Structure 1
Amino acid sequence: MDFLSEIIGEAVVLSIDSLILGFCVKQLSKCKHILNALQTAPVLDIDNNLKKEIQKYPNHVIPYVVVRGLVKPLGNPITSNYNQSVTGVIQRLTIKEHVIARTSAGFWSDQTRTIHEACNSTPFVLTDGKYSIEVVDALAAELLDLDVISDKFEPMSPGVIDHVWGFFSGVRQRGLQTMEEMLRDGSYITAIGELSRNNSGLKIQPPRDGLPLYLTTATKSSLLKRLASSRDLLRVFLVLFGAVAVIASGRIAHKYIKRRRRRVAEEHLKKQLAAGRKERRAQNRDRNLHDVQLCVVCTDNPKEIILLPCGHVCLCEDCSENIQDTCPVCRERIQSRAPAFIA
């Protein structure tokens, strides 16, 4: 049996586990990087001292900083589609389809998929009333806390034909969910990102070194706890999938060693059998032979092997094992050989 077919199960498990393990390592490295950066990020107030503080950094840029303030639009805010009294600076409209789908095991389960999502935004700043910081590219924030303004579910009323079609297709419609979320005007949020200063004023934006921009209602300490919890969970996954990788690799190594030992034992047995046959052949050979009947190489043993395709019977079995390329008589390439019996 081919060795690959013996380890196909372990190889599949190891391949999938390696992909998951690589993803966990990447996420853990990213989480540690963000955690270390957030721990050292200064927490600054939006006041007159902020301009003085930013002058201490090269090019008037603080790579990662935590600031808190009130959301205020620069210009006209966005008005909610479902509540005209609510205004904001970021709006997310989502339409989700709810279905009951039949799984491969034959069970029916609730499933949801997003069929449409749209985001609108308007320029805004974080302010304490007198001083302000403009938020740049807010939609690129990795964590963006929005308030749910409206969440409506419209159930579908399927007919008989829909029930029959759903039974055969394996999908039954439940209804559509329409949700509107907004970052409200006047919300008090925490912004974490790169703070810079130019001629137009102070701006906070996604950092250039790959760190995430956060726009959240959470504080720095709660974010640190959340990241530490994610880091610990990733470590558990790393240990778990690492153990699976070690077990799968150990089984592959065990099967390889077992197969190698079996092949070594078979080779040893084959050599023992060959030595026994050689000894019995040597005892049964006729020693009273003419020169024309002797092997052309050793001139001691009788001719026992015919070489093909040339057809020369010129070697004993012992010498045939050492001559693999060409016939010693005509120099034609040897393709095969067979025992010859000379009366």
Structure 2
Amino acid sequence: MDFFSEIIGETVVLGIDSLILGFCVKQLSKCKHILNALQTAPILDIDSTLNTEINKYSDHVIPYVVIRGLVKPLGNPIVSNYNNTVTGVIQRLTIKEHVIARTSAGFWSDQTRTIHEVCNATPFVLNNGKYSIEVVDALAAELLDLDVISDKFEPMSPGVIDHVWGFFSGVRQRGLQTMEEMLRDGSYITAIGELSRTNTGALKIQPPRDGLPLYLTTATKSSLLKRLASSRDFLRILLVVFGAVAVLASGRVAYKYLKRRKRRQLEDSLKRQLAAGRKERRAHAREKNLTDVQLCVVCSENPKEIILLPCGHVCLCEDCSENIKDNCPICRERIEARAPAFIT
């Protein structure tokens, strides 16, 4: 049996585990990088000292900074679709379909599918009195805390045909959920990102250029640090678990390989013993005092016992035939087959 067929199960487990392990290592590295950057990020106030702080950095850019302020639109704000008294600077409208679907095991389970999502945004700043910072590319934020303005669920009333069709198709409709979320005008949020000053002297905060995430959240820096530390610890646990699985699977493969190798060594040893026994029995059974014509052309000790095909020369004993694989020693024609020859 081929060795790969013996370890197919371990190979599949090891392959899947390696992919998960690689993903966990990548995420852990990213989490540590963000955690270290956030720990050293300065917390600045939106006031007259901001320009002094930014002058301390080259190119007037602070790579990662924590700033809190009030959300204020630059121009007309976005008006809520479901509440005219609510305005904001970012709006997310989501339509989700709730269904009961039959799983491959034959059970029915509730599932939710997003069938439509749209985001609207208007330019805005973080304000504190007469000082402000423009927020650039807010929709690219990795963490964007929005308030739920409306969350409506409209159940469906399926008829008999719908029930029959759902039974055969494996999907039964429950209803549609429509949700509206907004970053409200006047919200007090924390912005974490790259702070820079333009040629006109205006300040702006945007996604960092070194791959760090932009955060627009109501949480504080300490809360985010705790959340990231919790994620880091969870990823470490996953690394230990999937690392142990990788070690077990690798150990299983190594065990089967060594077992197979030992079995082959025993088989080879048995073959050598059998070959030695056959050689010894041939030596006892061979005739003595043969003429030169009857002797092997290679060793000149044992009688000629093998016929070479297709040339047909009978010139080798069985012992020498095992070592000569390519060409006939008489005519140099390629050996394609050999057979015992009985000379009387």
Does residue 294 of structure 1 match 2:279? no
One-letter amino acid matched to 1:147: D
In the superposition, the TM-score normalised over structure 1's length comes to 0.99
Separation in 2, partners of 1:342, 1:182: 102
What RMSD in Å do the two structures reach over aligned CA positions? 0.8
Pair 1:169 & 2:169 matched: yes
Structure-1 residue corresponding to 2:199 = 199
The alpha-carbon deviation at position 341 of structure 1 amounts to 1.8
CA distance in 2 between partners of 1:103 and 1:120 (Å):
36
Q: SS state of the match for residue 211, structure 1?
A: coil
* Distance across 2 between alignment mates of 1:129 and 1:154: 44
Write the deviation string for residues 194-245 of structure 1: whole angstroms up to 9, x where unpaired: 0000134000000000000000000000000000000000000000000000
Whole-Å separation in 2 of the counterparts to 1:141 and 1:338: 80
Separation in 1 of the partners of 2:337 and 2:38? 75
- Segment of structure 1 superposing worse, 329-338 or 113-122: 329-338
Q: Does 1:37 align with 2:32?
A: no
Q: Which amino acid aligns with 1:233?
A: F
Give 1:48 shift: 0.3
Name the CA distance, whole Å, in 2 between partners of 1:283 and 1:148.
99
Q: CA deviation at 1:172?
A: 0.6
Work out the CA distance in 1 between the residues paired with 2:266 and 2:339.
27
Partner of 1:73: 73
State the partner residue of 2:236.
Answer: 235
Aligned counterparts of 1:170 and 1:301: Cα–Cα separation in 2? 80
Aligned 1:159-308 pairs, distance under 5 A: 159-200=159-200, 201-308=202-309
Partners of 2:43 and 2:340 lie apart in 1 by: 92
Cα distance in 2 between the residues matched to 1:309 and 1:205: 83
CA displacement, residues 139-168 of structure 1 (integer Å, 9 cap, x when unaligned): 000000000001111111111111111111
SS at match of 1:192: strand
Query: What residue in structure 2 maps to residue 107 of structure 1?
Result: 107
User: 2: CA distance between counterparts of 1:193 and 1:55?
Assistant: 17
- Letter aligned with residue 10 of structure 1: E
Per-residue CA deviation, residues 41-71 of structure 1 (Å, 9 max, x unaligned), is 0000000000111000000000000000000
Match of residue 50 from structure 2: 50
Distance in 1, matches of 2:168 and 2:343, equals: 78
Does residue 1:145 correspond to 2:153, yes or no?
A: no
Instruction: Specify the code of the residue in structure 2 equivalent to 1:198.
Output: T
The answer to whether 1:331 aligns with 2:324 is no
Give the corresponding residue for 2:128.
128
**Structure 1 residue runs without a partner (length 5+):** none
- Structure 2: which 5+ runs fail to align? none
Equivalent residue of 1:111, what SS? strand
In 2, Cα distance between equivalents of 1:158 and 1:21: 45
**Separation in 2, partners of 1:128, 1:158:** 54
Q: Secondary structure of the residue that 1:4 maps to in structure 2?
A: helix
Displacement of 1:296 in angstroms is: 1.1
Distance between the aligned counterparts of 2:196 and 2:32, measured in 1?
Answer: 25
SS in 2 for 1:342: coil
Task: Give the AA of the match of 1:39.
Answer: Q
Q: Secondary structure at the match of 1:279?
A: helix
CA distance in 1, matches of 2:165, 2:309: 71
Shift of 1:336: 2.1
- Tell me, what secondary structure is at the counterpart of 1:292? helix
Q: After the TM superposition, which of the residue ranges 75-84 and 309-318 deviates more from structure 2?
A: 309-318
Partner Cα separation in structure 1 for residue 337 and residue 157 of structure 2: 79
Q: How many residues align?
A: 343
CA drift at 1:289: 2.3
Q: 2: CA distance between counterparts of 1:173 and 1:292? A: 95
- Listed one character per residue, the Cα deviations across residues 77-120 of structure 1 (whole Å, up to 9, x for unaligned) are 00011111100000000011111011111100001111111000
Q: How far 1:335 sits from its partner (Å)? A: 1.8
**How far has the Cα of 1:129 moved from its partner?**
1.8
Percentage of identical aligned residues: 86
SS at match of 1:329: coil
Looking at structure 2, the residues matched to 341 and 101 of structure 1 have their Cα atoms a distance apart, in angstroms, of 78
Deviation at 1:321, TM superposition (A): 1.3
Q: Within 1, Cα distance between the matches of 2:222 and 2:343? A: 97
Distance in structure 1 (CA, Å) of the matches to 2:312 and 2:178: 88
SS in 2 for 1:64: strand
Q: CA separation in 2, counterparts of 1:123 and 1:167?
A: 49
Name the residue aligned to 2:155. 155
CA distance in 2 between counterparts of 1:234 and 1:164 reads 45
What TM-score, normalized by structure 2, do the two folds share? 0.99
**What letter matches 1:144 in structure 2?**
L
